Structure 1
């Protein structure tokens, strides 16, 4: 099991829309709007690194209002 913490920046004013979209993704366990350099904090779990890569590229980064992501993998 791979646990990742993903920090995302959204397009201006789209933070709540992104949060709603993220919570519909099966692998997203938790997601929060946050203040600071990033707009959303995401906790995702996948079976392996390849699955995480797939979730990041096909499901999270492809959301129309995501501008940028930074991913940290939990040990």
Structure 2
């Protein structure tokens, strides 16, 4: 089961092999929309998809890049 996340939380995004890809901060959209249901068939009915996340560097500082459609089943706590 995926861990529930919140806006402002920093998480580690994993690639399709489960390897660490990058650190991101989950941020709200301009319209304040809440996370959507997961777009994958991960088996967790409570899993959510965050619409936008801010990419962070190795010091947890914003890089200016953003990624979209970050699902709770595809992230972990930072290592």
Measured against the shorter chain, the TM-score band is under 0.3
User: Which protein, 1 or 2, shows the higher relative CO under an 8 Å CA cutoff with sep ≥ 6?
Assistant: 1
Report which of the two structures shows the higher radius of gyration computed on alpha carbons: 2
More strand by share: 2
More helix by share: 1
